[in-house]
Amino acid sequence: MTHPLKDTSDTSEASDTPEASGSEADIGTALLRPGRRNALRWIMLAVGLVAALVLPELVYPPVAMDIAAWALFAISVDLLLGYTGLLSFGHAAFWGSSAYVTGLIAIHWGLPFPVAILGGMLFAMAIAVPIGYLSVRRTGIYFAMVTLAFAQMIYFIANQFSGLTGGENGLQSIPKSFFGVESVETDSFYFYYAAIGLILLGVWAAWRIIHSPFGRVLVAIRDNPARARALGYDVDRYKIIVFVLSAGLAGLAGGVFAISHGFASLEELNWTTSGKVVLITVLGGIGTLWGGPVGAAIVVMLEDRLASSGFEGTGIILGSIFVVIVLLFRHGIWGTATDLLQRTMAGRRDQGD
Amino acid sequence: MSAFVQYTLQGLAAGGFYALAALGLAVIFGVLGVVNFSHGACYMLGAVAAAVLLDVVGMHFWVALVVVPILLFVVGVLMERLLVRWLLRLDPLYNFLLTFGLSLILVDVVKRRYGVSGLPYERPAGLDGQLHIGALGLSTYQVFACLFSFLICGLVWLLLTRTRVGMIVRASTEDAERTRALGINVGRWVTPVFGFGIALAGLAGVMAAPFRAITADMGSNFVIILFAVVVIGGLGSILGAVVAGFLVGLVEAYGQAYAPAFAQVVIFVLMAGVVLFRPAGLFGREETA
C-alpha cells in the first residue's frame, strides 16, 4: 500500500511503482480481484449506512449528530489531503461560513432546514472559488499556510460584521423548521434521522468522486503532478474543482452542525476548528475515506466524556494524541487496521497456495 | 503628520516582533525544511516566562532579554531531539502537524497553570515614558522595540554573512543536498539551528511582554500572521522574512489607524496579492514542482 503522503522527502521519484496510482486504502485492494474489490466497496458502504442508522441508539442523539457532521467534515478534508495530496488547514472557513449562512437563512426566512443548509453549502462553495484559485498556486506546506491565512481572514470578516453574525455572541436560537413536523423540530432523536440523510448524501458524493475517473486523475496528480500535467491534464483546474467540491461537503457538514446545535459561533470559523478536523482525519487515516468517521467518533466522544467529567485540558489530550499518531501511527487507525489485515491475508495466501 | 509618524513607529515596533519571529521560522525552514507551527506558542512562552520570572524572582526586563531566549533555546533543542528529528526524512507536512499538536499542548498547559486572563507586566523603568523630539511625542518603549529589533536583525545578518556557521546555514538554506555533497556536516547544525530559531521567537515574546496582553492565546493569531509574513517574503528567504515582517507590521498599524474595521484583513489581502502576482513571495525563488 502506498501512503498518500510520501514517506521520503524526495518528491520526484518516490512513487514510480505500478500500484502507486490507486486509492489503495480500501481493504485488501492489491490482493483482491477487481470484482471482489468492488463488492467490498459496496459492503463497506452498506456497513457505513447501518452504522449511521443505529448510532443514536448507542449514544446520546445530539452527540451522534456531532459525530456524523464531523465525519463528513473529515471526509471533505481527506478528499483533498488523501486523494489529491493537498493539506487544507483552512477548512473551518467553509464549515463555519456555511454554519452562519445556514443559520441566517433559517432565522430570517424561516425556511425548512435542508433548504437553509443547501444555501450554506452553496455559499461555502462560492467563497471556495477565489480561495481555491489563489491557494492552488502553491503546493505542499505553502498550500497549508495559505489556506490557513485565508480562513483567518474569513474569521476576521465575520467578527467585523457583528451586526449580521452577532460577533462574539454568535448566532443564537437557529430554528429547526422541518415542514411543520413537530417531532423532528423538538426531539433530537427524530432530528437525527431527518438530518442524517443529508450527511449520507455527502458521504455518498465523496465516495462517488473518489471512485470516478475524475477521482483517478486526482490520485494521479497526488502521486506525480508533473506526469499528470504531461499527460495533458490541467492540474490546477482539477485542484480548484476538487477544492470547491470539498468545500461544499464541509459546508454541508457545517450547516447540519449549526442547525443541530441551534447556534453558530466564531469558534466554527477559528483555526482551531481547521486543526481539529485535520486531527480527526489523520487520526482516522489519510486517504481511507472511512478513517474520517472513525476519527470523528473517537474525538467527539472523547471530548464529550472529558467535558462531562469536568476536565478542561482538552487541548493537552488532543495534542498528545496527535503527536503520538504523527510520530508512530502515520497511517491512522483505519490505515493501520487495513495494513494489518492485508498483511495477515498475504501471509495466509502464501501458506495456502 | 505627527500622527502618521506615530503610526509608523507603532508599525515598525510591532513589525520588529514579526521580523524576529519570522527570521527564526525562516532559518529553521532553511536548514530543516520544517515549518514550525508551534512558533506562536514559543513566542507566547517567551512572554509568559518573562512575566513569571519578574513575578517570582524579580528578574529585570534587561536580564530577561538574555535569559529567556536561552531558556527557549533549551526548549527548542529538546523539541528537536525528542520529537521533530524523527520526522525529518518524511514529508514536511508531518512536522507541520506534529508542531501543531505540540502547540495545542503548550497553550493548554499555560492556560491551565496561569488562567485565561492576562499576566501583568509593567514597562521597565526608563522605557515607560514619552520621548519628545520637537513637537513629536513618541513612546519610548516603541522607539526602543523598533531599534532593538533592527539591532538583532542586523546581528543575525552579520552572523549569517560573516561567520562560518552562517555560511553553512545559508548554503543549506540554498541547497542542503549540494552542501552535504561538499563535505559539510549539515546534520551537526540541525539541533542548534532549531534551538536558535525558537530562541528568536522567545526573544520576540519577551519584547512583546510590556507591550501586549500576556495570555496563553497570544501566540495563536500571531503564528497565522507569521505564516502570512513568510508567504509574503518568500519562505526560503531570510531577507524576505525580515522585510515582510516590518512591512506587515506597518500595514497593520496603518490599517488600525485609517481603516480600523479592516486592520487584520488588510494583511491577508496583501498576502493574496503576493500569491496572485508573485507566488514565490517577494524575495523567494520559484519552486521547482
For A320, the closest of B105, B265, B275 (CB atoms) is: B105
For residue A11, what pLDDT is reported?
Answer: 38
Return the closest-CA partner of residue A77 out of A86, A65, A67: A86
Is residue B161 domain-resident?
A: yes
pLDDT for A145 beyond 60: yes
Write out A163-174 in H/E/C secondary structure.
HHHCHHHCECCC
Instruction: Determine, yes or no, domain membership for B19.
Output: yes
Residue A71 has pLDDT above 90, yes or no: yes
- Is residue B285 one of the residues assigned to a domain? no
Q: Which three cell numbers stand for residue A45?
A: 458502504
Q: Find the closest chain B residue to A322 by CA distance.
A: B101
Are the C-beta atoms of residues B238 and B26 closer than 8 Å to each other?
yes
How far apart CA B11 and CA B249 sit, in angstroms, is 5
Residues of A in contact with B98 (CB under 8 A): 322-323, 326-327
Give me the pLDDT at residue A315, please.
86
Tell which B residues from 220 to 259 touch A, by Cβ distance under 8 Å. 220-221, 224, 227-228, 230-231, 235
Cβ contact, residue pair A326, B94, below 8 Å: yes
Q: What number of other Cβ atoms are within 10 A of residue B164's Cβ?
A: 8
User: How many domains does one find in chain B?
Assistant: 1
Best-predicted range by mean pLDDT (A52-56, A297-301, B56-60): A297-301
CB contact (8 A) between residue B93 and residue A149: no
- Give me the percent of chain A exceeding a pLDDT of 90: 50
Q: Which positions ≥6 away from B103 have C-beta within 8 Å?
A: A319, B37, B38, B40, B41, B219, B223
Q: pLDDT above 70 covers what percent of chain B?
A: 97
| Per-residue pLDDT at A28 | 42
Residue B34 lies in a domain: yes
Tell me: pLDDT of A16 over 80.
no
pLDDT of residue A238: 94
**Residue range of the domain that includes B17:** 2-218
Helix (H, G, I), strand (E, B) or coil at B182: coil
Mean pLDDT of B171-179: 78
Domains and CATH numbers, chain A: 26-345 (1.10.3470)
Predicted pLDDT at A192: 92
* B241 assigned to some structural domain: no
Residue B145 lies in a domain: yes
Q: What is the pLDDT of residue B247?
A: 94
Residue B148 Cα distances to B39, B73, B203, angstroms: 20, 20, 11
* Per-residue pLDDT, A31: 47
**ipTM of model:** 0.86
151-190 in chain B: CB under 8 A from chain A = none
Would the pLDDT of B126 be above 60?
yes
- Helices A213-223 and A188-210 cross at an angle (nearest 10°) of 70
pLDDT in the model for residue B31: 84
Q: Is B14 inside a domain boundary?
A: yes
For the segment A169-180, the average pLDDT, to the nearest whole number, is 83
What residues form DSSP beta bridges with B137?
B132
Residues of A in contact with B275 (CB under 8 A): 134-135, 137-138, 146
Q: Which of A34-38, A116-120, A190-194 has the highest mean pLDDT?
A: A116-120
Nearest-Cα distance to chain A for B98, in Å, is 5
pLDDT, residue A353, reads 47
Q: Within its chain, how far is the Cα of B109 from the centroid? A: 21
Residues A324, A319: Cα–Cα separation, whole Å: 9
CB distance A320–B101 less than 8 Å?
yes
Which of B98, B272, B287 lies closest to A326 in CB terms? B98
**Mean of the per-residue pLDDT values for chain B?**
87
Centroid of chain to Cα A281? 7
DSSP-derived pairing of the beta strands B136-139 and B130-133: antiparallel
Residue showing cell 525529518: B88
pLDDT digits (tens, 9 = 90+) for A312-348: 788 899 999 999 999 998 888 888 888 888 888 777 6
User: Which chain B residue shows the shortest CA-CA distance from A86?
Assistant: B93
The predicted pLDDT at position A338 comes to 85
Mutate to test the interface with B, among A88, A152, A273, A302 (most CBs of B within 10 A): A152
Task: List the single range of A94-108, A197-211, B155-169 with lowest mean pLDDT.
Answer: B155-169
Q: What is the pLDDT of residues B241-271, one digit of tens each?
A: 999 999 999 999 998 888 887 778 888 889 8
| A271 neighbourhood in chain B, CB within 8 Å | 220, 224
> Which residues of chain A does B231 touch, with a Cβ-Cβ cutoff of 8 Å?
138, 142, 145-146, 149
When pLDDT is cut at 50, 70 and 90, the band that residue A5 belongs to is low
The mean pLDDT of A215-222, rounded to a whole number, is 92
B31–chain A Cβ distance below 8 A for any pair: no
pLDDT at B256: 87
Residue B109 in this model has a pLDDT that exceeds 60: yes
Whether B71 is in a domain gets the answer: yes
The owner of cell 512562552 is: B45
Q: Lowest-confidence range among A9-18, A132-141, B142-151, B194-203? A: A9-18
Segment A72-99 shows an average pLDDT of: 94
